[in-house]
Amino acid sequence: MLAYVFSHRPADGADIAAYEASLRGFHELLAKAKPEGFISSSTFRVSGRYDDWYLLEGSAAMDVINHIAMKDEQGRAHDEVARMAADGYGKLYKLASGDPPAGNGYEVRFSKPHGIKYPDFYARLDPWTREPTVSLWRRQMVLGPAPEFCLISDKDFELPADMTPEALKREPI
Residues paired with residue 56 on neighbouring β-strands, in sequence order: 2, 38
Torsional sign, CA 21, 22, 23, 27: positive
CB 82 within 8 A of CB 74: no
Question: What domains does the chain contain, in order, with CATH numbers?
Answer: 2-148 (3.30.70.100)
pTM of the full predicted structure? Answer: 0.78
| Top mean-pLDDT range of 16-20, 143-147, 161-165 | 16-20
CB 87 within 8 A of CB 9: yes
Answer whether 76's CB lies under 8 Å from 121's CB.
no
Could you read off the pLDDT of 74-113 as tens digits, one per residue?
667 777 788 889 988 888 888 888 877 666 678 777 788 7
Contact 98, 129 (CB under 8 A): yes
Average pLDDT of the chain, as a whole number: 78
pLDDT of residue 150 exceeding 80, the answer is: no
pLDDT tens across 21-76, in order?
999 998 998 899 888 999 999 898 888 889 898 999 999 999 988 887 777 676 67
